[in-house]
Structure 1
């Protein structure tokens, strides 16, 4: 009885007012929000697009009015009006690499802070056809620019078909004369690692390198070789891995059998982890018998046994500069191409020490 009276008194016709309220919320316009908030439509537009210059109290009033009316900004209409989709495409060569994942995360965070969304275009198989296909799909997507996280030698401008309005920034590449590039100072980090081991007294340093097709692996290996050559030291044969801990383990079994191997610079922390396991299984203690250095400074590096000395990459800064660079090119289309290198930091932990001979007491 009470329920029926409530419907009769406050809502003739049963549930019709609720249905009208839903239709009203769905059809709420920017002008409706402006009237409810007591501001201009321009102010509502600025708030919905995330622009600065709106007083915080005003912004709260507008957001409250949007919520009350169920108003949602029409992104398609905004794009037609402004010529921008406020979306950045990201082409990445797989998500198994620590560097790729952390760079992608940093790009997404930085893009969101600038009011942009990210559309991911993964390249499952790193071939030239797959790369061309990824760029071709950009013309079908609502993106304003693209960031390429590329670590393999496949980016050939002559074979790419880019929509004319698309701006490109590349992470982890040497394409500085063709594209804007943001990268870690791979060579500087590798030289620091080798120099640290030589300064500890090691006669030479062995290198557990990444795959041959990787730009980063190539630059780290080149710097390792150059540092040893400059110091007048013997350059051992490169031992090759594929970035995985398993490949580091397989390579480590061979290195453990090299009696003159007292120091190893691994091109990433995952391979260094596998190397540590192999050395332990063969009875070679780290760092008493062999010193080990990695590259990346993954979150778990300090928990290895022993904690890993490594080269820290600032992936957050790489991602931020990629977004900053692509937005700069969007706003200043005539900007010249070039390369920005993000410095590394050398992190000394417990996996490095002077070689055994240097620790032997004199008779």
Structure 2
């Protein structure tokens, strides 16, 4: 007769492995007390230690190698979980993490999230955990959001997230850029040039239907009493911007377009050129992020600069403080947007004169 495997349920399907919080609940103690027990800390009463050990045995809890290594000070490493390593924002965050980690003598590994499938995400999180060290999750897409939620509670983790709708609690070590304010300022700038309204080509949102960038755009239009066109849904790259730009180029009422990132703006500029609409003579275009190529387009692109590299450095600093227990850093925006005015935005075209008036002489 085979023994019972606590990791299997009665139907033979694998269930979620017990976490340190499950052990704490079963033993009636805090998860910090469980951590002290599994790491052999002397300041735990014998009866408490025995109760925790009994819960560990009953639940089949397996101590995470990363958490133990961090507690014992035998590893100086960080793994970054991300679904993308090439888009400008993602790549710049990775650069900032690597720079800060190298300065602190930490090794950096990268785990690529190939899909948002629950099993695939769980497997990648487990691989990152087994590698040893703390975790940073870039949660700008569904896979990243799922990975951030799947990290075991006992592991030190920092999330790089979209601008939250409300400030998160202190137990969520997150960093973000103020995308809402950035889109608000870019839209206000275009309206200040005299445009009746501003159309918007949106990037996908990872956490909600309306991204912070869309919210900032709408807020600026509302405050100005400007009409609010329906946003055009783009993707992340120039191809999505090109498709959206072709749709907008056919409408003569479109005189100003804000794009959710500079790659979308690149595609929009191409579409306007193909449609014979000059920029900024007939249509003004503004981007988002200030990617390196934006200053060298023709015309050069008005955009909003976000310090993604600084965001990566801040994410590592927050994780380092948690791991070393040397700092208590509240989650907060770390990148203040900066409007960069270039050639692609200007006043709307002057109204075309109508036909001369006709009449009869008296």
TM-score (structure 1 length as normaliser):
0.71
Counterpart Cα distance in 2 of 1:80 and 1:306: 51
Match of residue 106 from structure 1:
96
Choose from 178, 197, 216 the match for 1:223.
Answer: 216
2:156 aligned partner: 167
Answer whether contact 2:82 2:139 (CA < 8 A) is retained. Answer: yes
Asked if 1:209 is matched to 2:199, the reply is no
Cα distance in 1, alignment partners of residues 102 and 327 from structure 2: 25
Superposed CA offset, 1:182-223 (max 9, x none): 111111110110000010000000000012436797110111
Q: Are 2:225 and 1:197 aligned?
A: no
Where does residue 109 of structure 2 map in the other structure?
Answer: 119
Query: Highest CA radius of gyration, 1 or 2?
Result: 1
SS at match of 1:319: helix
Report deviation, 1:334.
9.1
Q: Distance in 2 between matches of 1:282 and 1:176?
A: 45
Are 2:132 and 1:137 equivalent residues in the alignment? no
Aligned residue for 2:233?
Answer: 240
d(CA) in 1 for partners of 2:253, 2:241: 19
> 1:182–1:138: structure 2 CA closer, same or farther, 3 Å change rule?
same
Q: Check conservation: 2:314, 2:334, Cα contact below 8 A.
A: no
Give secondary structure in 2 for the equivalent of 1:147: strand
Query: How far apart in 1 are the matches of 2:214 and 2:70?
Result: 49
Whether the aligned pair in 1 keeps the contact of 2:78 and 2:135 (CA below 8 Å) is: yes
Answering whether residue 174 of structure 2 is matched by residue 181 of structure 1, we say: yes
Aligned equivalents of 2:262, 2:180: Cα separation in 1? 16
2:267 is aligned with 1:278: no
After superposition, where does 1:1-363 map in structure 2 within 5 Å?
83-143=73-133, 145-153=134-142, 155=145, 160-162=150-152, 164=154, 166-173=155-162, 174=164, 176-177=168-169, 179-213=172-206, 218-332=211-325, 335=328, 338-357=331-350
How many angstroms apart in 2 are the aligned matches of 1:213 and 1:315? 17
Query: 2: distance between equivalents of 1:158 and 1:347?
Result: 33
- Structure with more helix by fraction: 1
- With over 3 angstroms needed to count, the CA separation of the structure-2 counterparts of 1:137 and 1:260, relative to structure 1, is same
Helix, strand or coil at the partner of 1:300: helix
Asked whether the 8 Å contact 1:168–1:179 carries over to 2, the reply is: no
Distance 1:110 1:159 in 2: 25
- The alignment's TM-score, normalised by the length of structure 2, stands at 0.72
Which segment drifts farther, 212-221 or 199-208? 212-221
Residues in 2 aligned to 1:153 and 1:339: alpha-carbon distance in whole angstroms: 22
> Does the aligned pair in 2 maintain the 1:209–1:217 contact within 8 Å?
no
Output the CA distance in 1 between the equivalents of 2:147 and 2:308: 26
> In structure 1, how many angstroms separate the alpha carbons of the residues matched to 2:209 and 2:294?
19
Cα distance in 2, alignment partners of residues 157 and 102 from structure 1: 20
Aligned residues: 281
Q: CA offsets, 1:3-32, max 9 Å, x none?
A: xxxxxxxxxxxxxxxxxxxxxxxxxxxxxx
- Mapped contact 1:262–1:291 kept (Cα < 8 A): yes
SS at 2:227 equivalent: coil
